Structure 1
Amino acid sequence: MPKNREVSAAEKAQARSVSLRRIGALFRAHRWSLAVVVLLIVVTSILGMAAPFLLREVIDVALPHADLRLLAWLVAGMVAVAAVSAVLGVVQTWISTTVGQRVMHRLRVDVFAHLQRQSIGFFTRTRTGEVQSRITNDIGGMEQVVTSTATSIAANLTTTVASIVAMAALSWQLTLVSLVALPPAIWLTKRVAQMRREITARRQRELADLNVTIEEGLSISGIQLAKTMGTGPALVDRFTASSRRLIDLELRSELAGRWRMASMSIVFAAIPAAIYLSAGLPFTAGTMSIGTLVAFTALQSGLFRPLMGLLNVGVSLTASLALFARIFEYLDLPIEVQEPARPVRIPAPRGHLRFEEVTFSYAGSPSAAVAGVNLDVPAGSSLALVGETGSGKSTIAALIARLYDPTAGRVTVDGVDVRDLALADLASIVGVVSQETYLLHTTVRENLRYARPEATDAEIEAAARAAQIHDVIAGLPDGYDTMVGSRGHRFSGGEKQRIAIARTLLRDPRILVLDEATSALDNETERAVQRAFDELSRGRTTVTIAHRLSTVRAADQIVVIDHGRVMESGTHEALVDAGGRYATLAA
């Protein structure tokens, strides 16, 4: 329970820290469109104020004097005012909605692009459902505020001011009576805004938990786990409880606003009675005509909608601060792996790889995952990294692809620090096939073309042949147009891994990093793929990580890693003869 209070307090502080100026900056590129909208709103509001005065003339002049000509003109004026206001309203809505949707689009793209630049570490620390919830639920929840806030403020403020001015022109005494409702309205609005903000923060957190449950419970892997562990009913109970909490939060949010609306409706309904009573009091009796009284009452009744609209905008904006805080929190995340300010290009990369006193520690870890590693892998040669699970081999592979940056030291390709290479250039030089394969939910052809969009069908087929997967794909009813299914579950583990190998080979990288790339293959298929790798590795730098030492015997250089440090290195024969750690592993 204390934990929940701490989270709530943190979210409140974060919401308070959101600058309205920063929110306003989202609309800066559309200021001229918004200026046109404001102008239309002002014109519409002024036109709307003409109707009560036309009504007063109808009641006080045209009808008593039976002036049909004047009556016709006044009625035509009323219709014209309504028609012009309606047309201007349509144009205003079109412009304001367009601006709002473009702001939403820009916000979604900015968040997605910023998250794409985050390091792997961010995604290992963050639940997938949480990320999805912020992009969909949080930004979606901001839609009404973003698309209508500016125009609502302008429209309601202009109408409210114009109504009060018109009311004062008719009777300043009755105007004072009408404005008695403002103080309680403002007080109630402030209370509701505070409640809505707290409820909104809790609702979005609950929606994120719901997304996580969906992601974990309805993915292929999640379904398989639930069925084999018999946890399906427990997941349903968890989802039901989360959904029930959402119902409660939505009800509380809606009722908070409804009670305010009900209270204000009663107050505003009582004001006309007070106006009629005031019109009969001695100090006002006989000072105004019936037409003036009717026109004033119409203005006062019309004041309720824009005034409440203006106050509602304040409630919505305050409540949405929790949403803006969550979005800005992601936009403010520091980029751990930065694009270089002035990228260095390697016109014809050879693939000479070096580690120079490289040390790396994961965030929050007391010890280094890699410590003082020195490696020299000449272009076109092969390096094998061996060691116990958790020794740091995969971390070294991640540093080559710059999934992380070293804490100290540097990794170079052809003498250039990988931090000085554009990320896209590095990705074209270094190809990685890991033990965890990920296939997109699309066709085999599109999964392969993901590596190189301009690749021809012939090049795709050649890569598949090299990875020993072409015959399997060709034997399917739809061939390369076969859907792989969610996360590639249409295929076996070995088939998925060979498709991933083909996808990497299609890019023709100068450096191949094979992180347990054949771990899911049976012995026969592994030998076939290994022959393909032997052929493709000629003239290419290859870094292989493997637990089965039979796959790395022929490597030019074998390095034994233990607790992030290089324990020994050499050829297979030399290391066996040395009788050290490698000899123990090979025994």
Structure 2
Amino acid sequence: MAQAYAGDGSAGSRALRYVIITVILGIALTAWSSVEQYVNQFVRYKIDAVINDKLYEQFLGLDFWRYDDKNTVDLFDKAQQFSRFFGYVFDRLTSVIQQVVTMVAGLIGLMFVSWWLGVILILAVIPGMFIQYRLSKAQIAHWASNVETRRMTNMIEWGMFKVSTIAELRMYGMVKHLLSLRRSLREKDVKDRIDFERQYIFKRLMADVVESAAEVTALIFTALQIVARVQPIGQFLYVQQVVSRALSGSRGVISEFNSIDEDVANLFDYNQFMELPQARHRQKNLYKKPKQIIFDDVSFHYPANDTQVLQHISLVIDEGAHIAIVGENGAGKSTFTKLLLGLYSPTDGTVTVDGVNLADVKLADCTRILGFCSKILQHFHLRMRKIMCCLVILPIPMMTNGFMTHFHVLKQKHSLRSYQRALIHTSINGWSIAMEPPVSIFRAGSGSAWR
């Protein structure tokens, strides 16, 4: 452009060419930035999806007793923490590398001026890094020890904001109590974490003072060198820039190290959870309704606890029998039911169905021949068509009287078909409580149709 201004005729076209090239490069860089952002989001989504899918597959493949084991559930919560932020780990690693390069480059640049200034700066940044390391370890330990506290807080929040429970909570005056409990749990978790920061304020301040003293020392030394005509006047700006870069790099390393340290701790928990053994693979099949179920001297205790939940239970259940299992809270009724359904395997003794050990029967066959009606219908926010799939597909008949006979009679009278047409596409979330138990009975009677 200067040449064109001076009268060079060909310089004007070259200047325009360079302007066009500059604009094209700017557009290309802008487009690349957009593509890069999309690629980063897509890759992060794919990584998060794989990590989360593997985590949930592992959780849903464990032995059933582990779902009642507090240590397993706590470990799962910690593993979830890692899976949520795994996609950002690479960004943090990249940031750490950038900060380390910035810090090292600043130190090397300062050593070109004076090696002992570089040594002073290295010694100045060590206290801050050590203090941040101690703080990070304390925060990680606090987070790991308060998993149950956060779980209780989430349960309170979930319960308070459910439409089905909020009226009862307000009617019986439980809102203030739950809010107070939520507040105390939150303070135990979040406020204590903030208190850790307060305990380290003075130490951080002293570390900052040491870093500032090192910076002032380097600048004073450079100023004296310039006054003595040993260094050129521009050296002062150079030293000020390299010291500032080295200190900002060290602070960036400290800040990112805090996050990386937490991620490494969560990675350890994730790996530990993924290494938990899967439920034993069962081989045997059952094809017909059971004639007899026998509990032969059955005892059970959870693997993580030696306390016996059930001891020496012997019982014969014949076809058509009606048996009530009665006991106090904690007597083992639910455990007995899970043994009967094949979810738990006895610690001692056997549970057999027509002579076949129930512990060896495939879980799909257990649910096909044994129906279970819970007092709370687990509908998973599905539509009627999915929950009452027994109206569409019927398994091998397992009852010749009672419920199944009544079921077919109703079906012949088209009562259920009319019911199906009316509710087939409606969500069960809008149903009344009285409408849910029949669905639970239908589903239990359908056996493998639910699958």
Q: 2:424 aligns with which of 449, 461, 480?
A: 480
Is 1:402 equivalent to 2:342 in the alignment?
yes
Q: 1:308 aligns with which of 237, 251, 263?
A: 251
SS at match of 1:371: strand
What amino acid does structure 2 have at the position aligned with 1:419?
Answer: A
Taking a change above 3 Å as real, the CA distance of residues 122 and 156 of structure 1, as seen in their structure-2 partners, is same
Taking a change above 3 Å as real, the CA distance of residues 127 and 316 of structure 1, as seen in their structure-2 partners, is closer
Is 1:116 equivalent to 2:60 in the alignment?
yes
CA distance in 2 between partners of 1:471 and 1:433 (Å): 22
Q: 1:193 aligns with which of 126, 136, 150?
A: 136
- Note the C-alpha offset of 1:359: 0.3
Counterpart in the other structure of 2:386: 446
Counterpart in the other structure of 1:339: 280
Is 1:359 equivalent to 2:298 in the alignment?
yes
Taking a change above 3 Å as real, the CA distance of residues 231 and 467 of structure 1, as seen in their structure-2 partners, is farther
CA distance in 1 between partners of 2:31 and 2:98 (Å): 15
List aligned pairs for 1:178-327, cutoff 5 A: 178-201=121-144, 204-219=147-162, 222-223=165-166, 226-227=169-170, 229-246=172-189, 248-249=191-192, 251-252=194-195, 266-281=209-224, 285-319=228-262
CA distance in 2 between partners of 1:233 and 1:209 (Å): 16
CA distance in 2 between partners of 1:91 and 1:286 (Å): 53
SS at match of 1:385: coil
CA distance in 2 between partners of 1:164 and 1:464 (Å): 85
Deviations along 1:136-185, one digit per CA (max 9) or x if unpaired, are 6x447755873544333333333333333344345434423433422322
Taking a change above 3 Å as real, the CA distance of residues 140 and 408 of structure 1, as seen in their structure-2 partners, is closer
CA distance in 1 between partners of 2:30 and 2:388 (Å): 54
CA distance in 2 between partners of 1:367 and 1:264 (Å): 56
CA distance in 2 between partners of 1:464 and 1:220 (Å): 35
Counterpart in the other structure of 1:382: 320
Taking a change above 3 Å as real, the CA distance of residues 503 and 207 of structure 1, as seen in their structure-2 partners, is same
Is 1:418 equivalent to 2:358 in the alignment?
yes
Contact 2:149–2:185 (8 Å) recurs in 1: yes
What amino acid does structure 2 have at the position aligned with 1:483?
Answer: S
List aligned pairs for 1:121-160, cutoff 5 A: 121-124=65-68, 126=70, 138-139=81-82, 146-160=89-103
Is 1:433 equivalent to 2:337 in the alignment?
no
- Note the C-alpha offset of 1:398: 2.5
Taking a change above 3 Å as real, the CA distance of residues 174 and 302 of structure 1, as seen in their structure-2 partners, is same
Taking a change above 3 Å as real, the CA distance of residues 350 and 307 of structure 1, as seen in their structure-2 partners, is same
Deviations along 1:73-124, one digit per CA (max 9) or x if unpaired, are xxxxxx9xxx999999999988877776656545544443343344554445
Contact 2:132–2:258 (8 Å) recurs in 1: yes
What amino acid does structure 2 have at the position aligned with 1:113?
Answer: E
* Root mean square deviation of aligned Cα: 4.9
Counterpart in the other structure of 1:491: 432
- TM-score between both structures, scaled by the size of structure 2: 0.69
- Note the C-alpha offset of 1:480: 1.9
CA distance in 2 between partners of 1:375 and 1:226 (Å): 44
Contact 1:437–1:496 (8 Å) recurs in 2: yes
Deviations along 1:377-427, one digit per CA (max 9) or x if unpaired, are 5xxx43432454468776554223212111223334565433334434543
Contact 2:301–2:310 (8 Å) recurs in 1: yes
Contact 1:192–1:256 (8 Å) recurs in 2: no
Contact 2:339–2:351 (8 Å) recurs in 1: yes
CA distance in 2 between partners of 1:319 and 1:188 (Å): 16
Deviates more, 1:306-315 or 1:140-149: 140-149
Is 1:369 equivalent to 2:307 in the alignment?
no
Counterpart in the other structure of 2:9: none
- Note the C-alpha offset of 1:278: 1.0
Contact 1:196–1:315 (8 Å) recurs in 2: no
Contact 2:370–2:447 (8 Å) recurs in 1: no
Identity %: 15
SS at match of 2:428: coil
Aligned length: 411
List aligned pairs for 1:438-587, cutoff 5 A: 438-449=378-389, 466=408, 471=415, 474=418, 479-485=423-429, 490-493=431-434, 495-507=435-447
Contact 1:160–1:307 (8 Å) recurs in 2: yes
Deviations along 1:270-292, one digit per CA (max 9) or x if unpaired, are 54432232124469954443444
Counterpart in the other structure of 1:528: none
What amino acid does structure 2 have at the position aligned with 1:446?
Answer: K
Deviates more, 1:183-192 or 1:467-476: 467-476
SS at match of 1:357: strand
Contact 1:104–1:146 (8 Å) recurs in 2: no
Deviations along 1:54-90, one digit per CA (max 9) or x if unpaired, are xxxxxxxxxxxxxxxxxxxxxxxxx9xxx99999999
Which consecutive residues of structure 1, in runs of 5 or more, have no partner in the other structure? 1-78, 457-461, 510-587
